[in-house]
């Protein structure tokens, strides 16, 4: 094998590694931003529910005892953000991909709620449907950059081996 053919055969693998690295980074950034956004929205609904609610897209908001739903929204968002960031910090990218795929249910439900309660199409599609799409893209990138055999040792077979306990 000549030096030239050796260099040519390694060029595609370098380009492939660069694309994989870029995809890995993009997945990480999208997941981290998603987790932080969930925490932000949760804190916003917890400490400033009236202002947070104005940006959600439903024109009439609960008052009196019904305003307790702001706390429900806050708790949901805080929990979602914590789960995303915890799985990301633990290196459980495949698990995070599944979680994010399933978490698209929330913004899709929010979109349908906005549309069915007199909200604008701009808010429903521009906020909630766009969020669902971004979460789906993040999940897809996480699936693309992780695999059953590519998780860290913490999630692979060693995590299931209880013989040393």
pLDDT tens per residue across span 62-74: 788 888 888 999 9
pLDDT tens per residue across span 118-128: 999 999 999 99
Q: What's the whole-model pTM score?
A: 0.78
Distances (CA, A) of 16 to 19, 20, 53, 68, 145: 5, 6, 45, 51, 12
**12 — pLDDT class (breaks 50, 70, 90):** low
């Amino acid at each position: 094998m000549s030096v030239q053919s050796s260099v040519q055969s390694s060029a595609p693998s370098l380009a492939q590694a660069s694309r994989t690295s870029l995809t890995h980074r993009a997945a990480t950034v999208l997941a981290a931003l998603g987790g932080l956004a969930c925490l932000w929205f949760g804190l916003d609904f917890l400490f400033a529910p009236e202002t947070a609610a104005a940006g959600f897209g439903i024109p009439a908001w609960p008052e009196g005892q019904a305003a307790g739903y702001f706390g429900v929204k806050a708790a949901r968002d805080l929990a979602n953000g914590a789960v995303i960031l915890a799985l990301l910090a633990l290196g459980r990218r495949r698990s995070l991909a599944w979680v994010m795929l399933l978490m698209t249910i929330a913004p899709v439900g929010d979109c349908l709620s906005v549309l069915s309660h007199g909200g604008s199409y701009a808010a429903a599609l521009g906020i909630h449907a766009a969020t669902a799409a971004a979460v789906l893209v993040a999940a897809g990138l996480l699936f693309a950059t992780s695999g059953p055999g590519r998780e860290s040792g913490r999630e692979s077979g060693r995590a299931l081996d209880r013989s040393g306990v």
